[in-house]
Each structure stands twice: as C-alpha cells, then as structure tokens.
Structure 1
C-alpha cells in the first residue's frame, strides 16, 4: 500500500476523527485509572496501614518501576512493537488492579507488613504498565493530530476527576455501614478493573481500524517507522512502501538537543506538582473542620481543575506556543512552594482549596501545551521518539517530585 494521495488521503483521514478523539480520551483515562484509584482510596490505606505513610511510600515505589522501564523503552523505542507494548500495558493494569481486590479479600482487609509488601509489589506492576502505555500511546499519537494528544491527556486527567467523584460518592454511600470504607474501596477498584479491560479491547480491536488512525500510521510507515507494522496489519494493511529508512532519522541525542527545553519544561512541571500532590495534602495540611473529608476534597479539587486545564489550550488566546513563554510560566509555578507552606500554617480551608485548584489548573494547561508543541517539525519515526522522551522526562519529574515531597515531614516527628 502506498501513502494515500493528497486528493484522496485528506478526506479519508478525517473520517472517524471525532470517534478517534473520544477513544483517545478513554485510552488516556485507562492509562492512569488504576494508579489514581490507589491515590484516591488513600484514606482507606491510612486506616489499614496508619504507620507506613501510604500516599508517600506507594508513590515512591511506583515511580522507580515506571522510570526504569520507561528508560529502557525510550532507548529502544524504534524497535518496540507499539501494539504489543500498549496491549501488554493495559492488560497489566487490569490484572494488577484485580490483584489489589484479591489481596484485600484474602487478608480480610487487615494491616501488617505482609499485605503492605503485597500492595507495594502490585503498585510496582502499575509502574511497569504506566511506562508501556504512556510512552507507547504518546509516541503513537505524536505523529497524528495534536487534538488526539490533547484528548489523551484530558482522559488522563479525567481519570483523576472520575476517581475523586466516585470516591466521594462511595464514601457517602457506605459511610454508615459496617466496614463502609473498605466496601467503598473494593467497589472503587472493581470499577477501575472494568475500565482497564475495556481499554484493552478498545486498543486491540477498535482503535487500529479507524480510517484516520490507519492513515497516519501508514504515513508514518512510509517515513520509516517500524513501530506501527503490527497495528497496520491488525487493520488489514500490509506491504506499505517505505520511502524513508529508519537510519535516515535524527538520533535520539540529536532530537534531545533540538527540543531539550521542552523536556526540561515537562520535568519541572511534575517536580513541582508531585512535591506537593498527594503527600502534602494528606499529611501536612493539619486538622480542620472538614475532618477526614478534607484530604478527599483537596484531591478532588486538584483533579477537577487539572481536567479543566487540559481543555483550556483549545482556546487560541490561552494556548502557549512560545518556548520562552512556556519556560517562564513553568518557572513561575515554583511560587507554589512557599504559598502552600504558609497557607497550611496560617490560612483557612478555603484558601488551601483555592490554591490546590490553581496547582491542578496550571499542571493540566502546561502539560498539554508542551505535549502538543514538542513533536512538531519532525517525521513519524522522530515524532515517536520525541513522544517517548517526553514521557521519560515526565516520569523523571514525577520521581524527583515524590522524593522531594518527603522534605515536608523532616523534623516534624512523622517518621
């Protein structure tokens, strides 16, 4: 098959654009649904494991697996079958989330070192799945329409908003029943498991067959991409004529030098965000009139505003395209560090809720701006590589932020 002609290819590729956007949104939701579920039921794990700092420890366990696996995949991205990579990742998410339910049922919701180690191992599996899915999907979408990337990351944020909303509902529903917190958490994990299995089916059976997706993958194949071969075959497209060789593409090192500021931008966004969210919100905001609802409200506010922020770049006047403008806005966010410190120490709940909302809004907006701008100006194989590097630096920022988050509790007797 040759690349579709300009006359025939353009109308053909637009077919299925809206449904492809929606599927990207669902796949984005599935890429973080399991992990957001673990974060959102943090109140349950704090009850079961009160001495083990669950929100901080589980996040710290998750990130080395995600970052280590992503480093390997980013290095070999040109040789990794994207189809197998993404299906494996979504399947691992589903199986690991189901494993959390089985572990809780097997231990009858009891605490202790053994069950905690088991949860940590499952969280490590989440990290491996995350590296497969986020790197694979972002690399894949980098050579398609920017709207697909925006929809994917809106779905990522939607997983947080959905889990927060469901958590509040289940907490209300089971608040008065025996073991209500545990019942709500199990129901929560069951919903997440179902969504992950749905993503497996969507990616494996439906997404590759959408005309617009087939168009862009065929185009990437003619430019030398080998990562799309299996997905094209699944869509019934064989023998794509490659007009470029993979050896003709820029090296990963060259790509890094050309776009280094975008990678640093993404790193800094998540260093700041994860140094505050979620550990600080669970453990460093003190006691307030909202009681045990306070942390849940803060998490929900962050997630909802993060979701809104991932749609604001669709408004032309708000979208940041200037590299200097992005860098300035991202560096300005570091004023959140003293702002959170003094708000937690001196201000009321309302100010903290507003501040958390701003943290989420800026996180979502700047993430989408960077992710949609960075891949521009390259061919398919290079855009796939840029996408993988972006996720690598995103995960690197998360890991660094998680480590820095521990500084909030040094010297306050929490160890």
Structure 2
C-alpha cells in the first residue's frame, strides 16, 4: 500500500471527502489576511506617536505615499509574470519580508531610544518601502491562490485584512488608556504594537508554509488547478506530498491572456480602483489632519480610525447572507460611484459638524468599503479555469493597489489652503 504522501493529482481529484478541512482552511485564511496588513495597520494606528516624533513631516500621509509606489510597482511586475512565479515561494517571501521589516522597525526605535530626526525618519521610510514590496507579494499571491478555491476562503482572507485594522485600533485604545499617564506612554504602546505584529508575521510564515498546504480541501483545489494547466501550484503540491503530472501543463497554453481577462472584467477592475481611490483620499490622512479639535482631544483621531476599522470588518461578513450580497455588475458600479458623495459630506462635516456626525460618517465609509470589496472579489473570478482565476486575482489586486496609490496622492488636496501644509 502506498503512503498518502505518494498520491497523484487524479487520486486527490477523486477523493470522496474533498470538503474535509473547510473550516480549518477558513480560519487559516483569516489569520493570513490578518498577517498581511497587521504590520501596516500598526504603523497607521501608532500615527499619534509618529506625529509626536515628526510633527512637521506629515507621517500619516508621507509614509502611505512611500508605501504605495513600491506595492504598486511590485504587483505590476508580479502580475505580468504571475504564470511563471510559484505562488508558495512568493507568499513565503512576502510574509518573511513582513516579519523582518517589522522586527527592524522595532530595533530602529530601540537603537535610537525613541528620538526623532530626519535620519530616523528616512530609516522608517525605507522599512515602509519594504512593507509595500511584501504586501504586493502576499496580497496578490493570496488572492490569486484563493481565487480558484471556494469564495468563502477569499471572504475569510478579506475579513482578516479588516480584522488587522480592528485589532490594532482596539489595542491602541487600550494601550493609550494604560500608558497615557506614564513616562513615554506613546512609545511603550508603539513598542507593544510592533512586538505583537512581529509575532503574527512569524505565525503566518508557519501556517502558510507547513499547515495550509496539507489541508485536504486545499490539496483538492490546488490539484484541480494543476490539472487545468496551472504551474503556480507545483511547489505547494510537492509540499503536500502530491505528484504533479507534466502532461497536464500543456493546457496552460489554452488559457486567456491577461489582456483578455482584464477587458472581460474591466468593470470589476474599475470598481476596486474607485472604491480605494475614495477611501484612501480620506483615510487616514484627512482623519488625522483635517478634522479639527473636539471634546475627545488626542483620543479623537484614534476613535475615528477605530470606528472605520470596526465597521470595515463587520461589513465583510454581510455578503455571507446571500440575500444581502450585491452581485449585479450595474448595481455594484452604481453603489461605488455613489460613494463619491462622501467627499462633500466629509468637507462640510469637518467644517461645520460636531464629532458625533464625523464618527457616524467614518463608520459608513468603513461599512461601504468592506462590503463592496468582498462583493467584487467573490463574484469576479467565476467561470474561469484555475490559471485564469489566479491571473485575474492578481490583476484585480493590481487595480486595488492602484486605487490606493491614487487615493493617497489625491488626499494631499485636502491640505490646500491649510496652514499646516
């Protein structure tokens, strides 16, 4: 009798219990999503600490502007060559880079004893650029990988992305309350954040490299993709003890090109671009620099960031209720274009409204962002073969990151006429 590790693709495809491990896979996808953005969200959440160190350098805007070109440029290259890049090593490299960069951020602060200065700021910018490269590896790689699996896996991964923001916001409020009256309270909270982020990144390396590829349902989907001609899953199948059959790879020549996939799904690509153009033109720079002073004082931007993140997370579970999921292509486009009414709404609320109205507005921003993102990414990859779904997933993440970059750049327009500019 042969060992389980010696099974071929055909035997896995014919396995009677191919749904085994579904819940475990969803949990792992959630944690992997958390690890994808927990380091970056920690940077955003400790923005008040960086504003104390670098008050004249607009850290929330500048660091985001540094992050995005590296993320966008890297995902552009990876999307072009995605059919030749092994997803396993791409994602492991991304999570490892996240781990090392977060650890270096912690070491940099310890080495400088929490002092500011242009040298320290440049060092942080370099590390943030590494975050961007890591994000492009992981986010595009994971969405592409999960696109030929169950839509529930993408939903769990996207929920994990939002959970990283909610978790860091909650911890930031706790640490601010705990350390507010102690010496260097902001710095102690920031150090705790970076240490927690470093742990999560290490956990993601372990889960993705060792545990995830051995789940039966993951083996099934990856072997199915390989039988349809995908070359990106070979290392994952080998890690799971499954032999690939080289004759099936000739099918990869029959797949649609990236250009064909893009134009067939150009509305979905535009959807994601517009969602994040709008969101990142407001979050987080506007919330830190353009909302004025209110009764909450130094707590005010932290509360706004927390409300956005919490509602962004909650909204990513709404599409699980089938009757509440928006699948119409025209309906999605209408809803996304309607969000641009947030621009005048935020302007007039910041100028004339009380903090309660701003908190409500930020909550709706997060609610619509998470809900529409999940709707688009779970509907778009349907009706294609495994290699095409992987390619489309990468293209959609490219458009998403393009929207983030454009939104961050446009966010500087809020500073026109502002004496802080």
Instruction: Please give the range of the TM-score, normalised by the shorter of the 2 chains.
Output: over 0.9
- Asked whether 1:46 is paired with 2:38, we answer no
Kindly provide the CA deviation profile for residues 333-372 of structure 1, in whole angstroms up to 9, marking residues without a partner as x. Answer: 0000000000111111111000000000000000000000
Task: Report matched runs for 1:4-403 at 5 Å.
Answer: 4=11, 8-9=14-15, 11-240=16-245, 242-243=247-248, 245-403=251-409
How far apart are 1:2 and its partner, in Å? 3.6
CA offsets 1:33-52 (integer angstroms, 9 cap, x no match): 10000000000000000000
Q: What CA distance in whole angstroms lies between the structure 2 residues aligned with 1:391 and 1:133?
A: 10
Secondary structure, aligned partner of 2:10: coil
Task: Answer yes or no: is the 8 Å Cα contact 1:222–1:241 preserved in 2.
Answer: no
Deviations 1:386-407 (A, max 9, x none): 0000100000000000000000
**With structure 2 as the length reference, what TM-score do the two structures score?**
0.97
**Contact conserved, 1:282 with 1:295, CA < 8 A, in 2?**
yes
- In the alignment, the residues of structure 2 paired with residue 49 and residue 348 of structure 1 have an alpha-carbon distance, to the nearest angstrom, of 28
Paired with 2:61 and 2:291, the residues of 1 have a C-alpha distance of: 15
Give yes or no for contact 1:343–1:352 (8 Å, CA) kept in 2: yes
- Count of aligned pairs between the two proteins: 413
1:306–1:360 contact (8 Å) kept in structure 2: yes
Q: Answer whether contact 1:65 1:127 (CA < 8 A) is retained.
A: yes
2:76–2:398 CA contact under 8 A, matched in 1: yes
Task: Go from structure 1 to structure 2 and tell me whether the alpha carbon gap of 1:242 and 1:370 turns closer, same or farther (over 3 Å shift).
Answer: farther
Whole-Å separation in 2 of the counterparts to 1:259 and 1:268? 14
Aligned partners of 1:414 and 1:252: how far apart in 2?
44
Which residue of the other structure, out of 3, 13, 24, is the alignment partner of 2:10? 3
Which residue of structure 2 aligns with residue 412 of structure 1? Answer: 418
Quick one: distance in 1 between partners of 2:394 and 2:56? 37
- TM-superposed CA distance for 1:245, in Å, is 1.9
Distance in 2 separating the partners of 1:49 and 1:158: 28
Quote the Cα distance in structure 2 between the aligned partners of 1:241 and 1:315: 41
2: distance between equivalents of 1:251 and 1:346? 51
Alpha-carbon deviations, 1:3-38, whole Å to 9, x = none? 3587x43x4220000010000000000000100000
Distance 1:137 1:371 in 2: 12
- Tell me, yes or no, if the aligned pair for 1:2 and 1:241 is still in contact at 8 Å: no
Please give the per-residue CA displacement for 1:162-197, whole angstroms capped at 9, x wherever unaligned: 000011111111111110110110011000000000
Query: Does the CA contact (< 8 Å) of 2:226 and 2:244 recur in 1?
Result: no
How large is the RMSD of aligned CA atoms in angstroms?
Answer: 1.0
SS in 2 for 1:140: helix
> Which runs of no fewer than 5 residues in structure 2 stay unpaired?
1-7
Structure 1 stretches lacking a partner, 5+ long: none
**Where in structure 1 do 4 or more consecutive aligned residues deviate above 4 Å?**
none
Q: Cα distance, 1:412 vs. partner? A: 1.2
Q: Secondary structure at the match of 1:317?
A: helix
> TM-score of the superposition, structure 1-length normalised?
0.98
1:247 offset after TM fit, Å?
1.1
